[in-house]
Structure 1
């Protein structure tokens, strides 16, 4: 395995996913790329505490109608998350679109050997109605997926 793609989102539990995925990649001697997907704009209104060295999310006052502002906030988040690993070789990729298909498309484009994702605890109703990013990726992937359980 030479390339590990790690999916990160604004949930503070992404810190565990990022750290564990990064440590696995180091053990494999693989390159790392953190990917964040701008999907549903309403998701970005959730307020979380500071995590992975990123302080800006708590006080974010972003007009959700201004996509360029959202992209800048997302780039800042992704770059800060990468810097938190203290490894300048870590790459980042910011993408737009439906999360699961966008991650799979980029994994294919980047020639990833492994995708690392967290499994967040969502309600049963949400899983029935929408599914989860991890389960959608597992249904369609052609490469291995390493799932890291992250629960409250």
Structure 2
């Protein structure tokens, strides 16, 4: 139950609320891509407990392909149940752990309609922390760096 007495079961899909969530999600995605293009991914920090999230993620999802995500690993009923258990472990540890967030499906690409899916903030953190630590985001950073060098920056 939320502070406003609204739960996932009782909430209505108000167009205004959906629009506000979409604006926040797009702003988060734009900000993240700017950071990803500006900072070496292996040096990025998402939360004070990145190490814990990463260790838990790699233990809970040992074969999860962070570079190119098959949506059934996020969206099937079995996958949702497994993710729900993972996400709920962080309810008191990560602020906004269940906020809707945009995630790139292919780590080498930008946020575009065909390369984006909607996940919780905790799923975003887990996958992006893994991508940064495993080198899956290096291509975005290197591509931006090369583009800046080619433009004389």
Scaled by the length of structure 2, what TM-score is found?
A: 0.28
Of Structure 1 and Structure 2, the greater strand share is in 1
